[in-house]
Structure 1
């Protein structure tokens, strides 16, 4: 064979080898083009929840350049909204979120795929949170069901100076909403021209009639010692970690408080469709603490109370203006030492108190439902929601990546 023929033969061989390698590579890509996520509901009621999967569990399937093209489909081939979470702000995603809807005692499969052509679905509903400097420095958060707020350092400074409208409290405020749309920005914008804007239910969206003061509101914490509750002052820093269609997350820090020199970082998250915010308080202390106590204000002691240490849920049902509101806390019963409905003649000192074992990190859920939102009509309705939340905490969805 002459030189020209040999070159021709080698070029043809290389070309065929290239085609073969491409075919193998495409086969591998197709093999990893989708994976199945099996989710099982072990409880006897249907559950619509947000599922979180660590990116480390998906490394066999995606790489950083492909994350933007990740989609999740139901077994009926419908795209479902997703959300990425970067917890430490390093520009790399840590978790993938998606919402599931699973009937009682059922298992559903969701398909994770790479699809650069189909845009991700846009959710009509969302979660949201932010610091609000236009009203001193509240931090406020919401989803399609509920809204909450807490109070910051400037508000504390103004309260100590006696400036009207400012609040010195680490209690948790609740906003009664009866729309599934976001109201935070709209209500605070209205506040700029009318300080009573969101204290009046004149637009059919809800309002804020709830009084916190120095009480625990719905889910504030303290230390119960010698029939006295030691509490922190307002938060001093805030950091928004995520806000999006499925979950909002933020962190608050507090100056050292109580005789035990507690340094607290509180991470709060709220999922779409949930009436309960998740609270995770991490503590660094100078001296051993006797307990950490979660509270719910009893206002003027005119509502109904139910304490359930065995199941870990605590209920308050009260009338505010012309409708009823249910407030509650859910915590794992294994960490509860006792609970009491403490009443006092002193304003804002009557609270449900859930006394928990001291630990470096306290996790619990606090939330509410308003009669006018249509979510509950009776105290029993609210108790059913608390019972279900307690079961959800005890029996999380079983997630298996195939």
Structure 2
């Protein structure tokens, strides 16, 4: 069928009309207030259900954020419940101390093509080439933990497995992603990532300890812990935030079922954990831990502020580890000393609320250049505690 010129013009007009309907221009001002006495560079979340101007939008992919100078920022859409519909839009805001800044969110038909990108990102993945590790990182830190096959190998008497639900720390000193590279090179040259080739390395020992941030149940001077995670799933992955979940098989005589939802934002030393737990009977003392290794470091327990720190020598440098938690949910904390390997630990006994416990684990390595002393690490921990207690105030008009 041959269309006449008038017919073509008419069809074009219909396309433009529908395009305008689905891509109606939106321009809203976002005011972000920082009530603290230091500058904050943090992710801001626009939860669509909380704002009428976005709740009925069908074109979330076309949203852009501009700063006061008109620069377009890197953004990320997150579908938290994996139902195929974005729940929130993330962007990174810089807000001076005791100040507020204004950003603009816009939607146009060309927004998708204009979305800026950045090579520095957050990242996480299941790692089958190293049995079944799960690893995650951002521009400052990297972590890993261990899966069911590594557990099976150990329980079968093999020496190439790992039996631990503790959290391992990878010391990196470059902002770009290293997980894929280190694992790839480790396949070719076993033990590669245990040697610093200029980007950092993994000298941190977890063993049967909690590493930094592993969970357990403290009872009668003993810590009962789960085995390795049994399932993993990624909720979101970069560029600004990575989110995933780890499931653990029922553990202890209390039949604890635990799922950890873990997230890591760009630009922070702290990974957020939310442990969702249920059990066949009441759990007496749900506990978080930080290993003291050979007890050569310095511990600091601040129950009033919910800050728990360990500063220790590792090889020819120092590493600061820490847990930050809402002090209202902490029942007690102790610096537990033991003659049994891997059992000397900072232990934080907490009371989950509504079967959930939220806490932040983090670290910093002196050679990363991010800190220069234990005082710097203490300052980062203090800031993280204040950030948790005083979130940025976001207003959209």
TM-score for both structures, normalised by structure 1 = 0.91
- What are the within-5 Å matches in structure 2 for residues 319-330 of structure 1? 319-330=313-324
Q: Which residue of 2 aligns with 1:87?
A: 80
Per-residue Cα deviation, 1:255-302 (whole angstroms, up to 9, x for no partner): 111111110111000000010000000111110111211100000111
Q: Which residue of 2 aligns with 1:16?
A: none
C-alpha separation in 2, matches of 1:167 and 1:331:
28
- What are the within-5 Å matches in structure 2 for residues 289-304 of structure 1? 289-304=283-298
Q: Which residue of 1 aligns with 2:333?
A: 339
Q: Which residue of 2 aligns with 1:188?
A: 183
C-alpha separation in 1, matches of 2:157 and 2:187:
20
1:110 corresponds, among 103, 109, 128, to: 103
Look at both structures and tell me which one has the larger radius of gyration over its CA atoms: 1
- What are the within-5 Å matches in structure 2 for residues 61-80 of structure 1? 61=54, 63-80=56-73
Q: Alpha-carbon deviation of 1:168?
A: 0.3
Q: Judging changes above 3 Å, is the alpha-carbon distance between structure 1 residues 61 and 338 closer, same or farther for their aligned structure 2 residues?
A: closer
Q: Which residue of 2 aligns with 1:197?
A: 192
- Unaligned runs of 5+ residues in structure 1 are 1-21
Q: Which residue of 1 aligns with 2:4?
A: none
Q: Which residue of 2 aligns with 1:55?
A: 48
Q: Alpha-carbon deviation of 1:115?
A: 2.9
Q: Which residue of 2 aligns with 1:168?
A: 163
C-alpha separation in 2, matches of 1:358 and 1:103:
34
- What are the within-5 Å matches in structure 2 for residues 252-401 of structure 1? 252-359=246-353, 360-401=355-396
Q: Which residue of 2 aligns with 1:5?
A: none
- What are the within-5 Å matches in structure 2 for residues 80-159 of structure 1? 80-117=73-110, 119-159=114-154
Per-residue Cα deviation, 1:202-254 (whole angstroms, up to 9, x for no partner): 2x100000000000001001111111101100000000111011000000111
- Unaligned runs of 5+ residues in structure 2 are 1-16
- Matched-pair contact (CA < 8 Å) for 2:303–2:327: yes
Q: Alpha-carbon deviation of 1:123?
A: 1.4
C-alpha separation in 2, matches of 1:62 and 1:281:
29
Q: Alpha-carbon deviation of 1:58?
A: 4.1
Which range is displaced more, 283-292 or 246-255? 283-292
Q: Which residue of 2 aligns with 1:10?
A: none
C-alpha separation in 1, matches of 2:251 and 2:24:
55
After superposition, the CA RMSD in angstroms is 1.7
Q: Alpha-carbon deviation of 1:400?
A: 1.0
C-alpha separation in 1, matches of 2:239 and 2:109:
20
- Matched-pair contact (CA < 8 Å) for 1:35–1:61: no
**1:39 counterpart = 2:28:** no
- Matched-pair contact (CA < 8 Å) for 2:247–2:258: yes
C-alpha separation in 2, matches of 1:210 and 1:159:
20
Q: Alpha-carbon deviation of 1:44?
A: 0.2
Q: Alpha-carbon deviation of 1:334?
A: 0.4
Q: Which runs of 4+ in 1 moved over 3 A?
A: 61-65
Q: Judging changes above 3 Å, is the alpha-carbon distance between structure 1 residues 64 and 162 closer, same or farther for their aligned structure 2 residues?
A: farther
C-alpha separation in 2, matches of 1:358 and 1:93:
29
State the secondary structure of the residue aligned to 1:80.
coil
Q: Which residue of 2 aligns with 1:242?
A: 236
Q: Which residue of 1 aligns with 2:9?
A: none
Q: Which residue of 2 aligns with 1:214?
A: 208
Per-residue Cα deviation, 1:186-215 (whole angstroms, up to 9, x for no partner): 00101111111100002x100000000000
